[in-house]
Chain A
């Protein structure tokens, strides 16, 4: 271990106060689109991002296919058809609002990105004549080539383009600034968001922002069950920075969440059991439709939903006879018959028939354009593939015409996990909102993965933009209100309640620099993940959940005061773990609130084994009030008919969006 001088100024103890109309927390797809929407409406916008906005978020290094852009010119389906299919497929434990926004406005956002300089069409005619390409519009489709609602795109350029557009519109971007807490005022029983606090992770400077409205766009929790102290950057699917700080600060401030009892058996943790996403032979997602073979080179058949063997590669991309369309994509696991698309023969059946492990993806047997689009475009444009997968394996000599790439785990997943090794994955819980994407705290909106049951980058972009637009409308209506008056710095300084919130937050953030502790952030993160594996594993019960809460309480009392940071970077990692602690408590409390088991929620209780009884077919919500977790219940289809509800509160946008279709 070598010690160096910290190269950035020491601003620990310094503070800075800023004001704006709309404050956006998080600079991924959702956050940058929220900032753009608000700035387009003439609002002054500040965006806080822990990393650097040009490459921040899950799509920072790339993004290869955009799901459910149902209003694109080639699509044969309506937004309502696809959104309702998702809702049915997910047994109504689904975010109908977010899905409909994704289906209805996703294409508009793609056209925005194209205008900002992003590439959404095969302008160089590299794939001219391919079955997945429309030669007139040069758009390229994935999965269902007949219905054409998901697009292949060149997303490695998207984030830099969005960043430049934010700057062009005058958005003030605070990079290397972690958002840590919401500032709120209480009016009667209602909480109002009036800004947020943060810290510069290079200098330690404490930052407060007064705003009329705030958008939470800070992804979802991670490192709750899965942790590696050796390779923490690889232990989850989402980027290292995305650990659920938005969930934690929202929960601390009274924001309502739902489905937080849902977690799934781990699918990706490249610090241990699995390989990095997209870097092994497989036939899902980015690799959908790839030809799979067994160890002898025997081709593994694709079947339609009726078990009929599909003879041609093209059949893998077509609905079955009598089926209008099929669902595939990030959150679609084992779809119902109605939506089930082509899939390789089930693993158990392959074993019975004598297929030999290991399996491989053999792209050499595919038509040339199908091979090139998987290895070269999709693997290349998808996040974390251009350099570490495409470039690395190419340099190592991998040639998709001559070589095949191995699959791992039980067939062609990239690894196998134990029941207690869990993740928030496949449409997990998050913030529940109204049709304005406003949370239970007035003036605080949410977009992207912070919403419950979210989907892919297209959904993040569409909901981020929508949240930004609604936050801008809200801000514009605030003249004369508390939130607006607090933009005056003297008013803000005179408000003793807010000054106390800021002082408490600054003290909380800096404590690990000032105490005499010696515990690293990793020791506490590791302990939390073991606690969650032990007490909130695959099968849950009241006694174990209480044990888990008790242990986390002990960590808060005994371990947290021992945490030590050498510099603001360490401090940032400690703040993340403190947020993981809060999120873990929310998850344990949410698990205690559902008194039955549920297959769609991957939720099993030994003390309440009954599966999905009618009485519990609802969104169970959780929020914090006076330091205690409070249970609530909202009907599953609370958002009404998705098309009618959307149209009743978006007439202004519908008029404006005509320009995208002229």
Chain B
């Protein structure tokens, strides 16, 4: 396969694009009404397996080594559970549907 990477050479001549090239980018947490993920700091080893498994890419690796990823975009969670399924430490990450989506169960009624 013929692979070439031309770093920082753009086909767009616009000045504005040049202002962004190579600059340090940022990300801002976007809060929402739900808290899909809970990390247990005492168990999490900061391996970022959950961030790699997340299809919605709502987790961003922490800058601090060994720390759990930052839940940058919690509203984008589709509650698939891939993050928990790929986590090597049981209990380090917990996924929970928002309160509106927790359905009710009751003891069965035994028929006479």
A residues near B (Cβ < 8 Å) are 1-7, 10-20, 44, 46, 51-52, 54-56, 60-61, 156, 172, 176, 201-202, 205, 229-234, 239-241, 270, 275-276, 279-281, 293, 296-299, 360, 362, 364-365, 383-388, 391-393, 398, 402-406, 408, 487, 489, 499, 502-503, 506-507, 510, 513-515, 566-569, 572-573
A240 touches B11 (CB 8 A): no
Residues of A close to B56: CB separation below 8 A: 51, 233, 239-241
Partner of A4, one of B4, B26, B77, B104: B26
**B99 → chain A closest CB, angstroms:** 12
B residues near A (Cβ < 8 Å) are 1-12, 14, 16-34, 52-58, 60-61, 63, 70, 72-73, 75-82, 84-86, 95-98, 101, 103-111
Taken together as a complex, chains A and B put the C-alpha atoms of A1 and B29 apart, in Å, by 5
What are 10 contact pairs spanning A and B, CB under 8 A? Answer: A5-B63, A14-B8, A240-B76, A275-B101, A297-B108, A360-B106, A388-B95, A503-B12, A506-B10, A572-B57
With A2-B28, A566-B27 known, 19 other A-B pairs at CB within 8 A are A4-B29, A4-B70, A11-B8, A13-B8, A18-B2, A56-B55, A156-B85, A270-B79, A270-B101, A275-B101, A275-B103, A386-B85, A387-B84, A387-B95, A392-B96, A406-B104, A507-B12, A569-B73, A572-B57
B29 touches A2 (CB 8 A): yes
Taken together as a complex, chains A and B put the C-alpha atoms of A201 and B76 apart, in Å, by 15
Tally of A-B residue pairs with Cβ under 8 A? 244
Residues of A close to B109: CB separation below 8 A: 293, 296-297, 404
Taken together as a complex, chains A and B put the C-alpha atoms of A391 and B95 apart, in Å, by 10
Please give me the 10 A-B residue pairs with the lowest Cβ-Cβ distance, nearest first.
A387-B81, A297-B109, A51-B55, A6-B25, A514-B16, A13-B10, A13-B21, A61-B80, A233-B78, A55-B82
Residues of B close to A52: CB separation below 8 A: 52-53, 55
B72 touches A230 (CB 8 A): no
**A400 → chain B closest CB, angstroms:** 9
Residues of A close to B80: CB separation below 8 A: 55, 60-61, 239, 383-384, 387-388
Partner of B57, one of A51, A234, A276: A51
Taken together as a complex, chains A and B put the C-alpha atoms of A364 and B109 apart, in Å, by 10
B97 touches A279 (CB 8 A): yes
With contacts A3-B26, A13-B8, A507-B12 taken as known, whether A18 is within 8 angstroms of B104 at the C-beta atoms is no
Residues of A close to B26: CB separation below 8 A: 3-6, 566-567
Taken together as a complex, chains A and B put the C-alpha atoms of A402 and B106 apart, in Å, by 9
Residues of A close to B4: CB separation below 8 A: 16-17, 489
Taken together as a complex, chains A and B put the C-alpha atoms of A581 and B85 apart, in Å, by 34
Residues of B close to A388: CB separation below 8 A: 79-81, 95-97
Residues of B close to A384: CB separation below 8 A: 78-81
Residues of A close to B9: CB separation below 8 A: 13-15
B12 touches A60 (CB 8 A): no
With contacts A232-B75, A233-B76 taken as known, whether A14 is within 8 angstroms of B7 at the C-beta atoms is yes
Taken together as a complex, chains A and B put the C-alpha atoms of A519 and B98 apart, in Å, by 27
Chain A residue with Cβ nearest B69 = A7
A172 touches B105 (CB 8 A): no
Taken together as a complex, chains A and B put the C-alpha atoms of A60 and B81 apart, in Å, by 10
Residues of B close to A1: CB separation below 8 A: 28-31
Chain A residue with Cβ nearest B112 = A297
Taken together as a complex, chains A and B put the C-alpha atoms of A311 and B46 apart, in Å, by 55
Residues of A close to B10: CB separation below 8 A: 13-15, 506
Chain A residue with Cβ nearest B77 = A233
Q: Which of B25, B34, B76, B98 has the most CB of A within 10 A?
A: B25
**A313 → chain B closest CB, angstroms:** 15
A14 touches B97 (CB 8 A): no
**B64 → chain A closest CB, angstroms:** 11
Chain B residue with Cβ nearest A1 = B28
B12 touches A506 (CB 8 A): yes
B79 touches A276 (CB 8 A): yes
B28 touches A240 (CB 8 A): no
A10 touches B23 (CB 8 A): yes
Q: Which of B7, B14, B110 has the most CB of A within 10 A?
A: B7
**B47 → chain A closest CB, angstroms:** 15
**B103 → chain A closest CB, angstroms:** 5
Chain B residue with Cβ nearest A488 = B2
Residues of A close to B63: CB separation below 8 A: 4-5, 7
A231 touches B24 (CB 8 A): no
A55 touches B53 (CB 8 A): yes
Q: Which of A7, A296, A297, A299 has the most CB of B within 10 A?
A: A7
Chain B residue with Cβ nearest A509 = B12
A405 touches B57 (CB 8 A): no
Q: Which of B6, B55, B98 has the most CB of A within 10 A?
A: B55
